[in-house]
């Protein structure tokens, strides 16, 4: 089962935008993530609707942040992405007629809900500002001389 990495990808994009003055093009963001500009636009669509980012067309256009990083949590971003399922495992059937399956589902569901709730809680505790600060700490520790965009090389 392949893991969904949209959240990870979007956060990556947002932090890059935070380090950048003025709009950033989908093209540039896509290169930073080794993917396609269209993919970037696609996953950013939800964020735009929620007002977390803005996009501008034409010359000098691109994406820019439109929110206070202190106020937005990873959970907010997750929800802006449509709140995809967090757990990789689930029940074979919802509302099964089989009593055996009902018992199985009941047992698993509690465990699933608890884990999901914990995860959401944790995501709600981390702001984009905290993430950005962590990045800056790493950047300073590693030798901030290099240009930001180059940091992708490794």
Q: Which residues bind DNA (CB under 7 A)?
A: 1-2, 4-6, 23-27, 34-39, 41-42, 44-45, 48, 55-63, 84
Distance CA 49, CA 53 (A): 8
H or E stretch at 73: none
- With contact defined as beta carbons under 8 Å apart, do 122 and 131 qualify? no
| Residue 110 contact among its own copies, DNA, none, beta carbon within 5 to 8 Å by kind | its own copies
Phi, psi of 54 (to 5 degrees): -125, 155
Give the residue from 35, 33, 32, 26 showing the smallest Cα distance to 53. Answer: 26
Partner that binds at residue 90, options its own copies, DNA, none, CB closer than 5 to 8 Å by kind: its own copies
Which residue shows structure tokens 């990495």?
5
* Residue 72 binds: one of its own copies, DNA, none (C-beta under 5 to 8 A by kind): none
Q: How far is the CB of 93 from its own copies (least distance, A)?
A: 8
How distant, in Å, are the alpha carbons of 67, 136, 151 from that of 143? Answer: 29, 11, 11
- The entry of DNA, its own copies, none near residue 59 (CB within 5 to 8 angstroms by kind) is DNA
Q: Does 83 bind its own copies (CB under 8 A)?
A: no
Residue 3, both tokens: 């893991």
Q: Which is nearer to DNA, 2 or 150 (CB)?
A: 2
* 66 touches, from DNA, its own copies, none (C-beta below 5 to 8 Å by class): none
- Pairwise CA distance, residues 84 & 45, whole Å: 15
Binding residues vs its own copies (CB under 8 A): 1-9, 11-12, 15-16, 19, 32-33, 74, 84-92, 96-108, 110-112, 114-116, 118-119, 122-123, 126, 130-132, 134-135, 138-139, 142, 151-154
């Amino acid at each position: 089962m392949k893991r969904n990495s949209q959240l990870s990808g979007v956060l990556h994009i947002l932090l890059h935008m935070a380090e950048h003055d003025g709009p950033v093009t989908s093209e540039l963001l896509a290169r930073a993530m080794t993917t396609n500009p269209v993919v970037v636009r696609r996953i950013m669509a939800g964020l735009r609707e929620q007002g977390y980012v803005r996009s501008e067309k034409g010359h000098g256009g691109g994406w820019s942040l439109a929110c206070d990083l202190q106020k937005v949590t990873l959970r907010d971003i997750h929800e802006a992405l449509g709140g995809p399922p967090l757990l990789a495992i689930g029940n074979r059937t919802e509302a099964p007629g089989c009593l055996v399956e009902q018992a199985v589902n009941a047992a698993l569901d509690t465990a699933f809900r608890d884990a999901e709730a914990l995860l959401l809680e944790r995501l709600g505790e981390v702001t984009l500002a905290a993430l950005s600060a962590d990045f800056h700490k790493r950047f300073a520790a590693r030798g901030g001389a290099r240009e930001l965009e180059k940091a992708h090389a490794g």
